[in-house]
Amino acid sequence: MRKTVIPFGPQHPVLPEPIHLKLTVEDERITEAIPNLGYVHRGLERLADVRDFHQMIQVVERVCGICSVIHALCYCQGVEEIMGVEVPPRARYLRVMWSELHRIQSHLLWLGLFSDSFGFESLFMQFWRVRERIMDISEATTGNRVIVSVNVIGGVRRNPDPEQLRWVLSQLEWVEEEVRRLENTMLEDYTVKKRTVGKGVLTRQQVYELGAVGPVLRGSGVAQDARQTGYAAYGELHFEPIVEIDGDCYARSKVRFRETLASIDLIRRAVNRMPEGEIRVKLKGVKPPKGETVSRVEQPRGELLYYLKGCGEKTLDRVRIRTPTFANIPPLLVMLPGHYLSDVPVVTLSIDPCISCTER
């Protein structure tokens, strides 16, 4: 049959960020997809040469706008490991709280965008309305809505008082109630299921071999989550990964939906167990980082990896960032062939592409 090549992106109504997929189509069915990246490359890793290792916190936060606090946490964790700095317990619990707030807002954003990808715009509005409350919590506790600049090497910068923490919990109750109200629509609705069930199926073996991470991996039945390593205070909060077995777009959205609720639960546990005390250790007398390390955390999209190398100077030698979307593009290329052209937006969005993350 005659082949046609159709470009998908870099500008497309469902894509929040530019990625170009060259789709080879045979009678509306896709036979091959070739990605093309590089539209938003900013060269942030290179900035490590000119900014000192404290200033790099603000730089790595800008790798991804949606999960800025988790990038900064991963970076700080790595530098602390090289320098041998012990973070106070309260700071570790606060880091968990802010990480999980960011995970909730990122998942709610994705659930909205995903419903928009199959044309369910009122559901999109409902999710983003709930998300706004999370942004308010971020603003009240850290000082900014998205790029919160709250992590520093040796701890955190803000210390919410008990009254503010109670307010956070009361706001989260509202969020949980609203999210649960949307559960029936997102997971049971006929039109939603029609567009997502059986689309972009990956088996357990495939995701493992292709090196998928995050909800793509867990949606296919592999219980792997970097939070199981117990970084920050996750080791003390009895964290368990959320797994679905179907491996299609529906399973992935279900993983994200259930993770949103699980994150609310994690914040509750973290706040209730939060110890009193210092939030930041002083770095007087500690020498600049000398050595190398690999730091891993779980982003909303999957596992994030930082390789850091310092040679005892104010600037780091090397900052290498491996973001989850980068790992999830090969699985996407396996998912697409065999589908109709009209399913491409849904399947592409199901990996939660964060392109500015990928290209740094």
Partner 1 sequence: MFKMTPNIMRNLVVKKSTRMYPAQVRPTFDKVRGELINDIESCILCGTCAVKCPSQCIAVDKKVYTWTYDPFACVYCGVCVDTCPVKCLSQKTQYRPPTGERLIITLQGQPRKKDKTKDKGSEKETPPDQEMEKDASAETPEP
Q: Which residues form the interface with partner 1 (CB under 8 A)?
A: 49-51, 54-59, 122-123, 125-126, 129, 132, 136, 139-140, 143-144, 147, 149, 157-158, 181-182, 184-185, 188-190
> C-beta of 138: minimal distance to partner 1 in Å?
10
Q: Which whole-number Å values give the CA distances from 334 to 32, 43, 162, 243, in the listed order?
A: 9, 29, 49, 21
Our CB check for partner 1 shows the closer of 11 and 122 to be 122
> C-beta of 280: minimal distance to partner 1 in Å?
10
> C-beta of 127: minimal distance to partner 1 in Å?
11
The gap from C-alpha 270 to its chain's centroid, in whole angstroms, comes to 19
The gap from C-alpha 340 to its chain's centroid, in whole angstroms, comes to 28
**Token pair for residue 313?**
């100077």
Our CB check for partner 1 shows the closer of 26 and 49 to be 49
**Token pair for residue 348?**
């592409």
> C-beta of 114: minimal distance to partner 1 in Å?
15
Our CB check for partner 1 shows the closer of 104 and 182 to be 182
CA distance linking residue 137 with residue 56, whole number of Å = 25
> C-beta of 241: minimal distance to partner 1 in Å?
28
CA distance linking residue 229 with residue 233, whole number of Å = 10
Our CB check for partner 1 shows the closer of 143 and 291 to be 143
CA distance linking residue 48 with residue 235, whole number of Å = 31
> C-beta of 189: minimal distance to partner 1 in Å?
4
The number of beta carbons lying within 10 Å of the beta carbon of residue 274 is: 19
**SS3 state of residue 19:** coil
> C-beta of 172: minimal distance to partner 1 in Å?
16
Our CB check for partner 1 shows the closer of 121 and 209 to be 121
> C-beta of 95: minimal distance to partner 1 in Å?
17
Our CB check for partner 1 shows the closer of 60 and 267 to be 60
Which residues lie closer than 8 Å to 335 by C-beta, 6 or more apart?
Answer: 200, 201, 202, 347, 350
Our CB check for partner 1 shows the closer of 99 and 126 to be 126
> C-beta of 21: minimal distance to partner 1 in Å?
31
Our CB check for partner 1 shows the closer of 183 and 292 to be 183
Exposed / middle / buried, residue 189 (Cβ in 10 Å: 0-12, 13-18, 19+): middle
Summarize the chain as % helix, strand, coil (round to 5).
Answer: 50, 15, 35
- CA dihedral for 58, 307, 327, 154, sign (positive or negative): negative
Task: Please name every residue paired with 292 in a beta bridge, in sequence order, or none if there are none.
Answer: 309
**Token pair for residue 155?**
């701890």
Our CB check for partner 1 shows the closer of 36 and 55 to be 55
DSSP for 263-313?
A: HHHHHHHHHHHPPPS-SB---TTPPPPEEEEEEEEEETTEEEEEEEEEESS
CA distance linking residue 160 with residue 137, whole number of Å = 11
The number of beta carbons lying within 10 Å of the beta carbon of residue 156 is: 27
